[in-house]
Amino acid sequence: MSKRFDEVIATQERLRELSDLPSFRANNKVIDHVDEICRRFIAACPFVLVASRGADGHIDVSPKGDPAGFVAVLDDRTLAIPDRRGNNRLDTFENLLVHPEIGLLFMIPGHGDTLRISGTGTVVRDGALQARLAVEGKPPNLILVIEINEVFLHCPKCIARSKLWSPGHWPNRSSLPSLAHAIVTHARSGETEAEVQAVIDHGLANLY
């Protein structure tokens, strides 16, 4: 790779030589628990990205979404995320059995700030907690529990640059391939796009 680019940054010293030092605020905004500010953010959040690492060292990022407040704050250092119906790959859960380290990025539609949390994850089953996290009378089969190490709010510059929540600046999506087309092409299952689309539509009609 080093021959492909003018320079590959390989040391912390060189990295810092090319960058400004973080401000006092940036350096000191990290806390080790969920306080009232973070609780309010999580309560308003319907979407979170979950990062984990597999046995092969590959990093996986999985999106999770439900009605706002679906991530339960069990106490100041513990969160619970219900696992809903999906493709049953269980990438995150299988990763956590080997490497329990986990990262979360909470996003609220229309809001520029994001909340970052890191810690360790465990896959659990618990009757009372499953009942608490039920939607439409259907409890999750499995629950991701996170023991928190670090928490901090992230500034909105990336959201502002991307204009993520500004519909007038959204890109034209007419040329995007459908998920059904991608699956037929990548999985080579022998199915038609119509058949795969029917499976996708059924899943969207039966979220819980």
What is the tens place of the pLDDT at every residue in 132-184? 999 999 999 999 999 999 999 999 999 999 999 999 999 999 999 999 999 99
Q: Inter-axis angle of helices 193-205 and 179-187, to 10 degrees?
A: 120
Q: Measuring CA to CA, which residue among 49, 50, 31 is closest to residue 39?
A: 31
pLDDT at position 2 is 59
Bridge-based pairing state of the strands 142-154 and 114-124 = antiparallel
Question: What's domain 22-156's superfamily in CATH?
Answer: Electron Transport, Fmn-binding Protein; Chain A (2.30.110.10)
pLDDT at position 3 is 82
Which residues in the chain show pLDDT less than 70?
Answer: 1-2
What is the rounded distance in angstroms from the CA atom of residue 188 to the CA atom of residue 170? 32
Backbone torsions φ then ψ of 187, nearest 5 degrees: -85, -20
